[in-house]
Structure 1
């Protein structure tokens, strides 16, 4: 028999500078073709199962002489962390990018039993 109880919902959020390359001549600013940057974000508290995570751009500094091509996603979401991934391609030039994120999910209870198979 499974005991039912109200879930403990956790919300975690933050901002991070994903990259800043205009002053260092990095490939996001000077390169062409497919480019990617990723950063690992660790939650303040572990979730019971992987939470829902949403990311958004909170600052972008991009050259407008070419088309702005960008993709911002989350990957590898676990109970303790996730990766923010930014991609661009062709001749787009991105000087810097800051992202905001929020995670929502169920937190474990102190008296939860570990799953045993």
Structure 2
């Protein structure tokens, strides 16, 4: 098992696209596991801090994409006129790790 917490962006500080933009927007962060898994693990992601503008609709989608044995892409999306100042995301990966007692018998 591996887990972490990632500040995705803080766009209100510099008038970034998530805070000032319109339409489809996306932020992606590559997450590298502390140790490689035997096969791609199951990955759960969630928003742990959500700071949005109160005068607009709040639209959000967060997902784990391109999951491999060594990591995944943590992806946040918004659209329309949503104003997202900051997002922090938490993740949890569960899978089988390599073990010295695991033998490759052919």
Same fold (TM over 0.5): yes
> Which residue number corresponds to residue 54 of structure 1?
44
Q: Distance in 2 between the 1:113 and 1:24 partners?
A: 52
Query: Cα offset for 1:66?
Result: 1.0
Residues 1:112 and 2:99 aligned together: no
> Which residue number corresponds to residue 16 of structure 1?
6
Counterpart pick for 1:68 among 35, 46, 58: 58
Output one character per residue of 1:10-47: Cα deviation in whole Å (capped at 9) or x when no partner: x1001010111101110000000000000000000000
Q: Distance in 2 between the 1:108 and 1:48 partners?
A: 6
Q: Distance in 1 between the 2:19 and 2:103 partners?
A: 49
Query: Cα offset for 1:112?
Result: 3.4
Residues 1:34 and 2:27 aligned together: no
Q: Distance in 1 between the 2:53 and 2:20 partners?
A: 11
Query: Cα offset for 1:108?
Result: 1.7
Q: Give unpaired runs (5+ residues) of structure 1.
A: 1-10
> Which residue number corresponds to residue 8 of structure 1?
none
Number of equivalences: 105
